[in-house]
Amino acid sequence: MKAKHQRLTLVLLALAAVVGAGLLALSALKDQAAFFYSPSDLAAAGNPVGQRMRLGGMVAVGSVAKLADGVTTRFVVTDNARTVAVVYKGIVPDLFREGSGVVAEGQVAANGGFVADTILAKHDERYMPPQMAGKMHKTETLEK
């Protein structure tokens, strides 16, 4: 076998190994990956029941309701085009409130609603720690 053929064989074997490793990684991630959907994306996907995903959007104003059991919260996530009703059992984060951003992780129920097991509240991008905000108000200008 010529040296040229040996190099070609090694390159093909290395390429096959890389492709095989990539396929194994993708198959392992398929079970663990939770893709992000907005309410419009979810409607376009046809409400895939039972698939683990992340639903993101804004909490609709006036939609948050705590049920009688004290741990279940119902609210609506909107992207201003579509809405999805979400049910979550547990303690909601401190930043969770109406009109704020939220990412709910869970799955679509058979009735078209979303059952979340994790809630991530997003704070305003203009957020500033109170200590820093207080200092900013004290400083007027550097030119005095």
Known binding positions for heme = 123, 127
Residues annotated as binding site?
123, 127
Q: Which residue has the tokens 């200008």?
A: 141
Would you state the torsion angle of the CA atoms of residues 65, 119, 125, 135, taken in this order, to the nearest 10 degrees?
A: 90
Distance from C-alpha of 137 to C-alpha of 3, rounded to nearest angstrom: 74
d(CA 99, CA 75): 11
